[in-house]
Amino acid sequence: MKTQAVCVVLAGLLLLAPPAAFAHRLVPDDGTHTTEDNAIFLDDPGLSQVVYHEVTTESNAIWIAFDAAAGDSLYWQLGIPAIAGLEDYRPTVALIGPGLPAITWPYATPEGMGGVILDTEGMDAERFDEHFTGTVDWIIHGEDRVLTQAGRYYLVGYHPDGTAGKF
């Protein structure tokens, strides 16, 4: 089985190459990647990458796209910056792609795809010190999933009620 990890830390959405990764490539987010059509595309999902997203009225969601082969392994983490006022901030993440079950959520699901939604409300966070950048985050959840079908996938981070914050 080929291992393909995507790393995205949306100020926590961290799709991290297997834990042996030492640093992450920063992927810029200008707040405009709010739909399937203008998703950030990761052309090298095997590279550990981080995306920081600020939730605003205009930019509640961030869509991140990548292509995967059947049998690829996706590891991602969701975190928030360790700053005052965000201790209890809990965004939601959806994995959207082929072969996943039908979902009900606040966005249009791309045709022929389903999804899996992770609601982090009530989850505890663990401190994460990034010694290369000196930043500190609270990691809320990490997940490793084998993708069963080839195709385009999306990780979508959003706050279910639009509460401003960062992840």
pLDDT at 50: 87
pLDDT at 48: 86
Residue holding tokens 């910056």? 81
pLDDT at 130: 79
For the chain, list residues with pLDDT below 70. Answer: 1-23
Count of CB atoms within 10 A of residue 18's CB? Answer: 12
Q: Which of 27, 94, 84, 101 is nearest to 61 (CA)?
A: 94
pLDDT tens digit string along 116-130? Answer: 999 999 999 999 987
